């Protein structure tokens, strides 16, 4: 199994809603990542978890709250988002923390904030 | 951090070779990556090269690295319509982290 599975694929939410994005991998990878990708832009790193601990937060606003319940799961909790937060949110994992070697990406969750 | 620049578009005919170019700023990058993103999909690692190499070949893909000019290229031989996608150059390995920093991506369009 070389897949990273993200749900939901599409999400539409209002600015007062609370929602969550989910990511799952069963490759035994010890690092998991959240990236944000706006249209026609490169993916931008948001958070990194290494061995289930938050190791990197790229100054992301607190309306985005990551959680790593176990080594296979990564969540991104969303609250009080702004329309400019609309983007494709990509989850990735790697065997080793620090990103050495290949990052395996999910297909992304496309978020629209109204 | 790393800054990576790529041209935005490339259009080729099926069967021709495609060459996608990239320049990067941080000479201490240890790994240089090429990722492919098809429409509606995540990114997929195509190949990577260590900074102490000049060239790497993998089937139809050839990566050339010019460290002096901080220039990386990806050549796709016998380009097929299925190669149409966005190709991201990325650098990693600065400051002890190999997490890739992506360029803006080059949109490759292959015409039949």
Residues A59-111: tens digit of each pLDDT = 999 999 999 999 999 999 999 999 999 999 999 999 887 766 688 999 999 99
What are the tens digits of pLDDT across the range A11-65?
Answer: 999 999 999 999 999 999 999 999 999 988 889 999 999 999 999 999 999 999 9
A-B C-beta contacts closer than 8 Å: 51
**Which residue of A6, A42, A101, A110 is the best one to mutate when testing the B interface, meaning the one whose CB has the most B CBs within 10 A?**
A42
Question: A108, A88 in Cβ contact below 8 A?
Answer: yes
Residue A62, strand partner residues: none
If DSSP states are collapsed to H, E and C, what string results for B33-63? EEEEECCCCCEEEEEEEECCCCEEEECCEEE
Cα A52 to chain centroid distance, Å, stands at: 14
Task: Report residue B77 as tokens.
Answer: 């031989």
Q: How close does chain A come to B108, measured CA to CA in Å?
A: 13
* Per-residue pLDDT tens digits of chain B, which is 112 residues long: 567 889 889 999 999 999 999 998 877 777 889 999 998 888 999 998 988 889 999 999 999 999 889 899 999 999 999 999 999 999 886 666 778 888 899 999 999 9
Q: Chain A partners of B5 at a C-beta cutoff of 8 Å?
A: none
CB contacts of B99 in chain A (<8 Å) are 33, 45, 48, 56, 98-99, 103
Location of structure tokens 């080793």: A96
Query: Which residue, among B51, B93, B100, B103, would best test binding to A if mutated, counting the most A CBs under 10 Å from its CB?
Result: B100
The beta-carbon neighbor of B43 closest among A40, A100, A105 is: A105
Cα distance between residue B30 and residue B97, in whole Å:
10
Beta bridge partners of A109: A89
Q: Check if the beta carbon of residue B1 is closer than 8 Å to that of residue B98.
A: no
Q: Which residues of B76-112 are buried (b: 16+ CB within 10 A; e: fewer)?
A: beebeeebbbbbbbbbbbbeebbbbbbbbbbbbebee
Task: Count Cβ atoms below 10 Å from residue A33 Cβ, excluding itself.
Answer: 27
């Amino acid at each position: 199994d070389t897949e990273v599975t993200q749900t939901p694929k599409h999400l539409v939410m209002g600015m007062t809603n609370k929602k969550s994005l989910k990511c799952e991998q069963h490759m035994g990878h010890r690092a998991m990542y959240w990236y944000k990708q706006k249209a026609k832009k490169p993916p931008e790193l948001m958070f990194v978890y290494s061995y289930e601990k938050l190791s990197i937060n790229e100054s992301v606003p607190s309306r985005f709250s990551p959680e790593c319940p176990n080594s296979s799961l990564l969540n991104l909790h969303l609250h009080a988002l702004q329309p400019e937060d609309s983007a494709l949110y990509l989850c990735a994992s790697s065997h080793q923390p620090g990103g050495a070697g290949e990052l395996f990406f999910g297909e992304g969750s496309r978020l629209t904030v109204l | 951090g790393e800054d990576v620049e790529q041209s935005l578009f490339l259009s080729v005919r099926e069967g021709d070779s495609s060459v996608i170019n990239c320049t990067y700023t941080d000479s201490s990058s240890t790994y240089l990556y090429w990722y492919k993103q098809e429409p509606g999909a995540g990114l997929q690692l195509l190949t990577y090269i260590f900074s102490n190499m000049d060239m790497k070949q993998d089937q139809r893909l050839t990566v050339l690295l010019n460290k002096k000019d901080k220039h990386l290229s990806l050549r796709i031989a016998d380009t097929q319509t299925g190669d149409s996608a966005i190709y991201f150059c990325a650098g990693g390995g600065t400051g002890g982290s190999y997490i890739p920093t992506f360029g803006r991506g080059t949109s490759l369009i292959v015409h039949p």
